[in-house]
Structure 1
Amino acid sequence: MSIHRFLRPCRTLGFVLLIVGAFNIASAHEDAGPIAVQMVSAANEFLDTLTPELKQQITFKFDGPERTDWHFIPKDRTGVKLKDLSLEQRRAAHHLLHTTLSSAGYLKATSIMNLENVLRLLESDQADVNQRRDPEKYWLAIYGTPSTDQPWGWRIEGHHLSLNFSTVEGIVASTPLFLGANPAEVRVGPSTGLRVLGEEEDMARGLLAMLNEEQRQQATIATEAPKDVITAP
């Protein structure tokens, strides 16, 4: 299994899909060495494009409180927004993301970001929509010094996306990780019909349908989704 496979945790089948997701995302230790080296190289290339001010803004201690403070709601974060970077810097940031993920994972992550354009269209009657809904309103942060011989990590995070990568002794862990889609299915604009997490949703429903009543009760960790999670088209 590749370290880069993405599976979305399902609220109803949380324990099942979290196990599957963890296995697919972060279990391929045979790939960890090369990935760790490539990630260090891409991270340092990205940092080399930044001004001293941006470097100071984007870097934090590996064991500092910023690394464990994560969420998926739309809010300001620590670090540097993609929007505040030059074209060259954004390209380097995307190179880091693409180096860390597979092509499928990179497409999934950037598709989630681009859903902000759909939300901007849906909320076009709101005065502040252009400030709130922006596919470049995602923050990057580096924790520690990118190196193959000491712990470090990095994160990209914003609305419905939190990708956290840490490297210790040459092994890359990609947790915590959150992928969400709003809307679940695009019904307006040029991307009508797009379901960014459609495959994962269909797999979860298919798995649920295979369970008998006893298994379904064991798999259900809560009768209602958390209040900060909205399930709707």
Structure 2
Amino acid sequence: MKDTAKHQGLRNQLVTVLKEKGITDKNVLEAIRKIPRHLFLNSSFENYAYQDKAFPIGAGQTISQPYTVAFQSQLLEVEQDHKVLEIGTGSGYQTAVLCAMGAKVFSIERQNELYRTTSLLLPKLGIRPKVMMFGDGYKGLPNDAPFDSIIVTAGAPIIPQPLMAQLKIGGRLVIPVGEDHQIMTLLIRKNETQFEKHEFGEFRFVPLLENKN
């Protein structure tokens, strides 16, 4: 598990690409610059790890392309010690980026194979989310709510009501909504009953599946 000067150089190049694509949040860019994405991929993909592409990670899932990770992270507006609920741990790369941004991350993964792999990998890299668990992301973590922000890393046909309920007032929920293609959607909670909705164009994610455990 080596992270070399060459890898760091490739990350610097990736950050330049993300800036050119419109990512401006310095906290996001520094986290991308810091986290060794190649260690979250099968070694056969190592030479491609810093391309702005998604790759398979097993269990029919993918590691999102860096631009998507950066775009969702930027929408969250993470501040130091923010409580962030992540639905879909996957490879753990997005988790690591959020931790590097200073968030207290509560992460749920529904694929047991990925959960087992990632729960071993993250501590080896010195990355320690507040909570990492195997479970149904549709339900969130009501016992740990409310959250400053919630990020969903799989496509959902609708926005799950339990997640909306677990967002604090002023909090931000970032979720790709749709069946085949998804629209990146941001909900900002204005009060107990009202949410402000923003949409940011089309993205493609694996589906968020319910009650798989």
Decide: shared fold, TM above 0.5: no
Q: Which has the higher helix share?
A: 1
- Structure number with higher strand proportion: 2
- Normalising by the residue count of structure 2, what TM-score does the alignment of the two structures yield? 0.26
